[in-house]
Amino acid sequence: TGVWLKPRGSRHFGSGPGIAQVFAFLSGTYRDFSPGAMEIVDTDGDRLEFRITTSGTLRQYCNGRLEIRDIRALRYSAEEGRVQDETGSFHLRAEDRVEEALGLRMLAARCGVTWSGDEPSPATRVILTDTDGDKLEFRLTDAGKVQEFNNGKLELDEVRRLHLDASSGVVRDDSGEFGLPAGCYTQKLAALYSLAQQSGIEWHRSASARPAARRSTSAGRRRSWRSTPSIDAAWRST
């Protein structure tokens, strides 16, 4: 089985009706993927790790040491990039703030942690190095569409659909597939979904793998979905 969710097509991802449903969907997506953790480095240089336990609670570690056994509440200031928890507060680095705030919000939704203050700001671009070593950039244009660049070259002038295989962390789009790196899976997934919400990209999710087009290693590019006759049926599958 799979889940299909058509985004609202609104540029106001961070507030207004539907935000609770958005993160409820993201929390369900995250539950299907095995890492169950997110790591960030704050403005003080501390390495903070958030882990989902087998009982579904959220733990926080600071530089490898257990800081909070069961996080109950998080408060976020978007202007300052400050996150407050039961033991104090930390600040997200400016360059990572949008994605990390989205990732934390997803974890909070997944574990039932109370979130107060500001909702995260929407992402306007996502840059990642996939599991094949390719640098991908998804960029929201002023026209409200998302373009995809592969190693600096335009690959898709408009991304129309994304499909997450939650069991493997593989995302498929109109031109092929790419693997989300486990080390930053949570924040990259949340940021990609933010782009989809703003641009009207069709978002699909499944927990089981399906055959997919693979990258062409000789050309460093991905094969087109058009070479796979059954791809439209795969995208519509629920």
Distance CA 35, CA 233 (A): 30
Per-residue pLDDT at 48 exceeds 60: yes
Mean pLDDT of 111-118: 94
**pTM (two decimals):** 0.76
Looking at residue 228, the DSSP 8-state letter turns out to be -
* Residue from 201, 191, 197, 194 nearest 160 by CA: 201
From the CB of residue 54, how many other CB atoms can be counted at a distance below 10 Å? 6
The better pLDDT of the pair 83, 212 is held by 83
- Degrees to nearest 5, angle at CA 168 with 163 and 169: 55
Q: Kind and range of the H or E element at 104?
A: helix 97-111
Poorest-pLDDT segment among 42-56, 81-95, 169-183, 206-220: 206-220
- pLDDT recorded at residue 64: 95
* Residue from 151, 203, 206, 141 nearest 174 by CA: 203
pLDDT tens profile 13-27: 444 334 555 555 555
pLDDT tens profile 147-177: 999 999 999 999 999 999 888 889 999 989 9
- pLDDT recorded at residue 178: 95
What residue spans define the domains of the chain? 33-121, 122-206
The better pLDDT of the pair 100, 237 is held by 100
* Residue from 186, 28, 169 nearest 102 by CA: 186
**If you write DSSP's letter for every residue of 34-72 in order, what string do you get?**
S--EEEEE-TTS-EEEEEE-TTS-EEEEETTEEEESS--
Q: Which residues on neighbouring strands pair with residue 91, listed in sequence order?
A: 82
Burial class (CB in 10 A: 0-12, 13-18, 19+), 55: exposed
- pLDDT recorded at residue 168: 85
Three-class SS of residue 78?
A: coil
* 136 touches 130 (CB < 8 A): yes
